[in-house]
Amino acid sequence: MKVLVANLGSTSFKYRLFDITEAGETLLAKGGYERVENFGEVIEDCVRSLEEDAHLAPMGADLDAVGFKCVVGGEVSGCLEADQTVLDALEKFREVAPAHNPAYANGIKQFAKVMPNVPRVALFETAFYQWTPEPTRHYAVPKNWRDAGIRRYGFHGASHKFIAERSAQLIGREDIVEKVQHLYQQGNTDITEKPLRVISCHLGGSSSVTGIHNGVAIGSSMGFSPQGGLPQNNRVGDLDTMAIPFMMKTQGLSLEECEHQLTKEGGLLGLSGAGNDIRDVKDAASKGNQDARLALEIQIREIRRWVGSFFFEMGGADIIAFTGGIGEYNPDVRAGVCRGLEELGIAVDGRLNGALMGTEGFISANGARTRIAVIPANEEVVIAREVFRFMQSRNAGKSGVNREKAEVNT
């Protein structure tokens, strides 16, 4: 089965073409575009390139599906056909993910024009969190807020799902992940096997921490929107709700101005004043910029806070995994997160940690109870696998799947 994975940003488009079977997947082609102004033209160019380089049939005639990593659609979640229901959900929650929802809605429409006969399938980032315990899904807000959809959704689901499965493979426990996910699919949460406890740290321009118990998410640092949780590159992360009315009343800011500053001028950029890329922030800190140094310290502190939360919730951790651009290429961040935790069984081997840059491996000290791993992100392969499973189910005549639970095959 040939599956094209489309990764869309507000002005970017990246793609991966996979050939998938029950035995695994093969990457046939990949590419991308930056500073996109006309997505229709770019998608047409992408199809032409695939026809030439990957021998794709004209107009994607031999393409089985196009998969999209959609962000949030409220209660519309899972892996499902990217139809009008999905488009309506993306529109309804466009203000929650303004940099992503409109881009994916546009991409889905453009692919429908360019390749109208190729099925379009959406995998929502929120899908990985469908089994989180009920208390972890809610804020202490009035009922009418909850009824309006204000709840903790969680994000970076494809990345954290890959970490859940890959970390289990690395220590030979993929069987428990497969078994437990099957049991959850059947509505059975009575698990008696020895637990596999993973804390996944997706650290990049956008960052989050997720606790994973036997392959199933138990919660995320991100909540209602990608704005919450850890400080992002230019997004503030967690913030007391009273800060906004205070600034509006005392500084004369409008709601729109508050929103702009918190989503475009906060995070590492707002703290450091040196930029929103950690490389620029680290460079400024090395030159004596105290604000940049503070930004790095706050980032590590917030990661530790969420790692500690899930460590406590699960009664420990078998693996703490680092992924994403920051997690994969910054030994100092990994060391900072794990510093001083030897009595909890968490210790990093400095030599291994310093040598591992963007490649997979363990960096935990010899004899430490908790394994510390670096696992390069691979969201696209998760999307391709889920689209493959969805299409198998649909082709077998099982398309009448409850939308909220549509990802249960994972």
Whole-number Å distance between alpha carbons of 77 and 304:
29
Q: Binding residue per annotation — 53? A: no
**Is beta strand 371-374 parallel, antiparallel or unpaired with respect to 319-323?**
parallel
- Looking up tokens 């490389």, which residue turns up? 279
The radius of gyration of the chain from alpha carbons, rounded to an integer in Å, stands at 21
Q: Binding residue per annotation — 69? A: no
Cross-strand bridge partners of residue 323:
202
Q: What ranges make up the beta strands (E) of 58-196? A: 65-70, 79-81, 120-124
Q: Binding residue per annotation — 277? A: yes
Whole-number Å distance between alpha carbons of 338 and 353:
11
Helix (H) or strand (E) holding 373: strand 371-374
Q: Nearest-CA neighbor of 155 among 135, 177, 123, 128?
A: 128
Q: Binding residue per annotation — 300? A: no
Q: Binding residue per annotation — 279? A: yes
DSSP annotation string for 13-38: EEEEEEEEETTEEEEEEEEEESS-S-
What 8-state DSSP symbol labels residue 348?
B
Q: Binding residue per annotation — 282? A: no
Binding residues: 7, 14, 277-279, 379
Binding-site residue ranges for Mg(2+): 7, 379
- Bind-site residues for ATP: 14, 277-279
